[in-house]
Chain A
Amino acid sequence: MSLIGLACFFAVWEVASRTDLVPGYYLRPPSAVLPRVVTLLGETGFQRALVATVLATLIALGIAIAVAVPAGLVLGSVPPVRHAVMTLVEFLRPIPSVALIPLAVVTIGTGPDTKIVLAVFGALWPILFNTMYALDEIDPLHTETARAFGTGGFGVLRRVALPSAAPFVFTGVRLSFAIALAVVVSTELFSGGTVGIGQFVLEASAGGLNMDDVLAGTVIAGLVGLGANFGLEWLHRRLFAWSLPRGGER
């Protein structure tokens, strides 16, 4: 069911590249690109690029979680800190990570650190905001119930605030994965330096304009994002059935 949209997209792409809407040389049809996707996945050189990109994304996501969840908990539960910091947060948040690439390349260099740092910057916000607002959404009756049974401040945080915020935080993580992946690939593409899908696409487009490879690399990046999203949604339904309407029963 959910794949119908994807199938339509490939159909439109096929038609667009076969009619003369766009120069056929640049927009190769999926009937040429998709077989290339399969062969690419079998090539060690490309496999290395794929692993490098996914690994960088996962590291960035891990760091983003480690930073944004505690920060969100503090911002969500200590109003003075929130007041002090929110203006800064709202200033930083709209800055696209990609716009920071030149700055990052000059200060950090073109190694893998650069793409990870930039991806962390992009991935922080959904997790931070979801954690923060999840704390606002906690049912005060849950907190009162815990307190009435003698649960102290820290106990309420651990036994009520964290579990009730967890599904929202998880949704933030899911959104952040796509952002981290996009930033990692973009950084590879713009700054060259490190192994990854982005660099593969960059080289394919530079050395003789191999459009099959360019598009196949792009499609694979999309598939990674799609797969991760499916996986995370599945995990969300399993872990947090209680937070879905009627426990997620259909």
Chain B
Amino acid sequence: MKMLEVRGLGHTYRGKDGTHTAIDGLEFTVDPGELVCVVGPSGCGKSTLLRTISGLIKPTRGSVSLHGNPVDGVPSDLSVVFQDYSRSLFPWLSVTKNVEFPLRKLTRRNRTTRAAEALAAVGLDGAGRKYPWQLSGGMQQRVAIARALAYRPSLLLMDEPFASVDAQTRFELEDLLLRVRREQDTTVLLVTHDIDESVYLGDRVLVLSKSPATVVADLDVPLGQHRDQITTRSSDAFVDLRARVAGLLTSAPARVR
């Protein structure tokens, strides 16, 4: 069974100044355990796609299914790392309490252990008592990731999770993601506008067109399980694939309406 099935998915925002079709007729599936990257031009509807999958907004057309069950409302075994992570942490809660936020159904003791494990996994063992606004951007992003991981979702949705950290931190966080997803066998759908990142992280790369987004290409990434920031990125397979994605992105036709 597919982990995620997206069929004919379309969404039109209705505002005071008319309507805006953000995504249209999206079709793809994700298998359990896969890490699928979604790339697309700025404003093409990537965040909208994640918001419909997570049940935060109801799509105007098409359907989303998780484990074969149609999504209607927020599914219980999914977590999201939002694009604007600094605003998605709760400033009135300590780092630990932020990570424990989704774990309300567990006993207090389990909650504490889970949060501590997740914080250790992202290298923030010592920061639990701090508040989000006392941390650097990269650390805040780790907290958001720890919170999503502590929830142990079967599907992890990430919206440009590494967009606003420096290159060094970004490499660390990418490898962190690869490691925990191997360890926890999580299925990940990750949105990025960075072509290199999509190829480095993904088992597959979905290339979206300009707004309204449709799937232009669905590419397998033949780089194997184990990746390394230096050797993988300089391998021929990586360079070829990156060029293909870049070509698809620049030539992606804006749909004639």
Give me the interface of A with B, judged by CB distance under 8 Å.
139, 141-142, 144-151, 155, 159-160, 163-164, 166, 240-243, 246-247
Contacts and interface: CB of A to CB of B under 8 A. Distances in A.
A142 B74 CA distance: 15
Contact of B74 (A147, A163, A241, A242): A147
B151 interface: yes
Contacts of B151: 149
A147 B91 contact: no
Interface stretch (B34-42, B77-85, B190-198, B239-247): B77-85
B101 A146 contact: yes
A169 to B, nearest CB: 13
Contact of B87 (A139, A155, A240): A139
B29 interface: no
B90 interface: yes
Nearest to B144: A145
B134 interface: yes
Interface string B71-112: 000101011101010011011110000000110100000000
Interface residues of B, number: 22
Nearest to B90: A142
Contacts of B74: 147-148, 150
- The CB with the most chain B CB atoms within 10 A, among A139, A144, A241, A243, is that of A144
- The CB with the most chain B CB atoms within 10 A, among A142, A145, A241, is that of A145
Contacts of A159: 101
Given A163-B92, A246-B133, A148 B87 contact: no
Contact of A145 (B78, B88, B131, B134): B88
Contact of B101 (A141, A149, A241, A242): A149
A163 B134 contact: no
A127 B91 CA distance: 23
A129 B2 CA distance: 50
Interface of B: 54, 56, 74, 76, 78-80, 82, 84, 87-88, 90-93, 101-102, 104, 131, 133-134, 151
Given A142-B90, A163-B92, 8 more contacts: A142-B87, A145-B80, A147-B74, A148-B56, A151-B104, A159-B101, A163-B93, A242-B91
Contacts of B90: 142, 145, 160, 163-164
Nearest to A244: B133
A44 to B, nearest CB: 45
A163 B92 CA distance: 7
B87 A141 contact: yes
B152 to A, nearest CB: 12
A133 to B, nearest CB: 18
Contacts of A150: 74, 76, 102
10 contacts: A147-B74, A148-B74, A149-B102, A149-B151, A155-B104, A242-B91, A242-B131, A243-B92, A247-B131, A247-B133
B82 A164 contact: no
Contacts of B79: 148-149
A144 B133 contact: no
Contacts of A164: 90, 92
Contacts of B131: 241-242, 247
Given A148-B74, A149-B151, A247-B134, A141 B92 contact: no
A170 to B, nearest CB: 12
A151 B84 CA distance: 20
B149 to A, nearest CB: 12
A92 B131 CA distance: 41
- The CB with the most chain A CB atoms within 10 A, among B74, B104, B134, is that of B74
A240 B103 CA distance: 24
Contact of B80 (A148, A166, A240): A148
Nearest to A162: B92
Contacts of B134: 247
A7 B54 CA distance: 60
Give 6 nearest A-B pairs by CB, closest first. Answer: A149-B102, A242-B91, A148-B80, A145-B88, A141-B87, A163-B92
